Amino acid sequence: MPQSRLTGLTVLLAEDNLIVALDLEAALHDSGARVAGPAVRVEEALSLVAEDEPHAAILDFNLLDGAAVPVLEWMVERGLPVVICTGAGLPEDLVARFPDLPVFMKPTMPERLVEVLAERLGR
């Protein structure tokens, strides 16, 4: 993957498993992105999106204080690409609501998530 695929872009990272978050962060840095987060709570992710205005997001679905639905909605409403990386899978109602949402089951190679984001961003 080219080092610079996400250069100049800010990616929101919401992941409550800190070790996984560190790995994803390293992969995002490798691709040239600036990382907002990692956020471990929905509340924290929501204040980050407001502050940092990310161009895309990698979201774990279940965060410490609940499901990341508000964050997902915030991104999708603005037409910003999101990749979900979850251990449990997405509830059916959300799959129906967001049929085009790429959902990856843990564990997935972080580089793969970055790649999908880059494609969605047209890079």
Partner 1 sequence: MSDNEIAEILMLEDSSLDADLVEEHLRIGRVANRCDRVWTREDFTAALTERHYDLILADYQLPSFDGLSALAIAQDLKPEIPFIFVSATLGEEVAIEAMKKGATDYVVKFRLNRLAGCVERALEEARVRTAQRRAEIEMLESKARLSAALAIAKLGTFQWDVASGRLVLDERSREIFGISADQSPTARDLFERVEPDDRPLLIETMKAARAAKARLEHEFRLTGSTGRTQTVVVICEWMGRGGGDPLRAVGVFGDVTERKAADERQKLLLRELHHRVKNSLATVQSIVNFTLRTSDDMRDFQVGITNRIASLSRSHTLLMKNEWGDVHLRDLILGELEPYEHGRRLTIEGPNVFLPPDLAMTFALAVHELTTNAAKYGSLSVGDGRLAVTWHDRQRECGGRELCIDWVESDGPEVKPPSRRGFGTTLLERLLGHQLGGTVEVAYPPEGAQIRICAELPERSTGTVADHASFSTT
Using CB under 8 A, list all residues that contact partner 1. 16-24, 26-27, 38-40, 44, 64, 87-88, 105-107, 109-110
Cβ distance to partner 1 smaller for residue 38 or 81: 38
CB contact set of 106 (below 8 Å; sequence gap of 6+): 20, 85, 86, 87
Residue 78: other Cβ atoms inside 10 A = 11
CB of 79 to partner 1, least distance (A): 28
Give every strand in the sheet of 103-105, ordered side by side: 34-39, 10-14, 56-59, 82-86, 103-105
Cβ distance to partner 1 smaller for residue 62 or 69: 62
CB of 24 to partner 1, least distance (A): 8
Spell out the alpha helix ranges (H) of 53-100: 69-77, 92-97
CB of 123 to partner 1, least distance (A): 22
